[in-house]
Structures are given as structure tokens and as C-alpha cells.
A and B are shown apart, each in its own frame.
Chain A
Amino acid sequence: MDENDEQFENYLREFEPRGPRALEPKRQPALDSWRRLAAAAGVMIALGTSLWLVLHSPRWQALQTVTVGTPRPVRVPLSIVPLTKLAATDPARLDAELTAASRQVLPDFRGDKSTLHVLAKE
């Protein structure tokens, strides 16, 4: 290499290559699985907490109380054969059965706002 080459080499060294951006290391798979596990645990905790809050809220308690306090009336099926038997053996019970059944089928006239009551007033 002659002197000119060396001079030119020095001139070239006045140009500095720009540094590349920092090397972004690939995330470790182990770290990834820990993150997934932590995320899953977070979701489970959030779900559990919200479920607990719902179950312990006053509205839910009230709903439960109403449900327990007002059982649905059991409908007694009416059919000829058992009614005939009852008529023969226990007329009083037959009477009671028919009264109960009629309350379910016919409009109630005992209440203040019953149809019959209103009509009677008119």
C-alpha cells in the first residue's frame, strides 16, 4: 500500500458507521410459561373474587330468601277414580281436596281485590 492509499484509508475512517439499534434478545420460553401461568392465576383470582362478591351481595341473599320462603303450590291432579274412592271412604277429605283444587282453577273471591268482591260492591 502506498502513501496515497493510506491517506485515503484515513479519509474513509472519518466516516463512522452508525451503530445498529440494541439487540433485542428473544424471550426465554421458560419466562414465557411463567408469564402464562401468572396470567392464568390472575384470571382465576378475578373470577373467584367476582363470584364471591356476587354470592355475598345483599341482592343475591334476598333472592335466595324469597325463593326459599315461597314454595310453589303443589298441584293435585284431579281424576275420577281417586275422587270416587275418597267419596266412598272419606267425604270430608274429598271436600277439602275439591276446595283446594277449586282455589287453583277458579278466581279467588276472598281477597279485597277479587272479581267477586268488586262486582259485589258495584
Chain B
Amino acid sequence: MEPRKLSREDVTRLYHEHGPALLAYASSFVADRALAEDLLHQVFAKLLEGATPLPDVPAAYLYRAVRNAALNTRRNGFRETALDATNSCFVHRGGDNEAALALQVALAELPDEQREAVVMRVWSGMTLDEVAAATGVSLNTVASRYRYALQKLREKLKPFQKMRSCDGRE
């Protein structure tokens, strides 16, 4: 049986479902938000052409495609811009813009596979099992990548969490 091709509705649904998390993921490779959006659009434009068969795990395909596009851009001599509030791809619900920027920097400093695990789990809402299936590694490997990533992020974001507890916000 021939694999089903991605329909326009499939692509739109995937964009709404994973677009924000994928943008955050792309922004951890290239700090320029506009460029990260362009990368994301490149990936989805290809899907809209209708030539791509529906992947077994669409999220995994999307993350891989975005990562490849970002790495290609880096290889092609893209000049990195400074990260500032306008380029931030996160918004903190409590309005802590500094923490949002710090999170983006901290994510960018993580090894690719750890960053992938965190973004998939936290912002794409995937379970660790799904992340394991998507990345093609065992559940244990994903779990340890995720744990290491959380440790590093916690270290980097500690000052902001402390400030929050001093302010009495929770």
C-alpha cells in the first residue's frame, strides 16, 4: 500500500500543534527570530508542496527537518545577531522578560539531543516514550538526556527562580 501523502489540513494542524515549540527549537540554533521563522516556513512550505509522505512520527520528522535547516544556515556563514527582547522566542506568563531571554540562551547552550528532549517534552507536550520513538533512541537514553538538560537549565535559571520567591510570586 502506498503511504498516505500529507494533506493541506495535516500540514496546518501540525503547524498549529508544533509551530511554537519548533520556533523555540529553531531559535536555539539561530538567535535571530525572523530567521528562525523563515527556517520553520521553509520546512512547512516543503510539506505544503504535497510531495512528502506522512511520516510515522510527524513531530520527529519536523524536529529533524528544522535542525537540518538551521545547521545548513549556520554552515552557509550566517552571521549571528545578538539576542535581545525582540528576538526572544519565549514569553514568561509573569512578564519576566529577563528570565525568558536567559532560558533561550541556556537552551542554546545545551547539546542538541538534550535540547531536543526538553523542547519536545515541555513545549510540544510529548511523553518521554514519544520522544524516544521520535528520536530513535531508548527510553532510558531519553530520560537521562532529559534529566541532564533539566539540571543544567535549573542551574542557569536559579537566579530568576530565587528572585521570584523573594518577590513572593508563585
Stretch of B76-84, B87-95, B108-116, B133-141 lying at the A interface: B87-95
B58 is an interface residue with CB less than 8 A from chain A? no
Q: Within the complex, what minimum Cβ distance (angstroms) separates A3 from chain B?
A: 12
Q: B residues within 8 A CB of A26?
A: 45, 48-49
Which residue of chain A is the closest to B157 with respect to CB atoms?
Answer: A11
Q: A residues within 8 A CB of B31?
A: none
Given known pairs A5-B150, A8-B153, the reply for A16 and B12 (CB within 8 Å) is: no
B154 is an interface residue with CB less than 8 A from chain A? yes
Contact B49 A17 (CB under 8 A): no
Contact B37 A21 (CB under 8 A): yes
**With the chains together, A13 CA to B20 CA distance in Å?**
13
The 8 A CB mask of B151-167 against A (1 = contact, 0 = none) is 00110010001000000
Chain B, 112-153, CB within 8 A of any chain A CB: 118, 121-123, 143, 147, 150, 153
Which residue of chain A is the closest to B37 with respect to CB atoms?
Answer: A20
How many pairs of A and B residues are in contact by the CB < 8 Å rule? 75
Given known pairs A14-B92, A23-B12, the reply for A8 and B19 (CB within 8 Å) is: no
Interface size class of B (residues with CB under 8 A): 35 or more
B23 is an interface residue with CB less than 8 A from chain A? yes
B30 is an interface residue with CB less than 8 A from chain A? no
Chain B, 61-93, CB within 8 A of any chain A CB: 88-93
Contact A20 B94 (CB under 8 A): no
Given contacts A11-B161, A23-B19, 6 further A-B contacts (CB under 8 A): A8-B153, A16-B91, A16-B92, A18-B90, A20-B41, A23-B11
| A-B pairs with lowest CB-CB distance, top 5 | A17-B20, A17-B24, A15-B90, A20-B23, A14-B93
Q: What are 25 A-B contacts with C-beta separation under 8 Å?
A: A5-B150, A8-B154, A9-B121, A11-B161, A12-B118, A12-B122, A12-B153, A13-B122, A13-B123, A14-B94, A15-B93, A16-B92, A17-B20, A17-B21, A17-B89, A17-B90, A17-B123, A18-B89, A20-B15, A20-B20, A20-B37, A20-B41, A23-B44, A24-B45, A26-B49
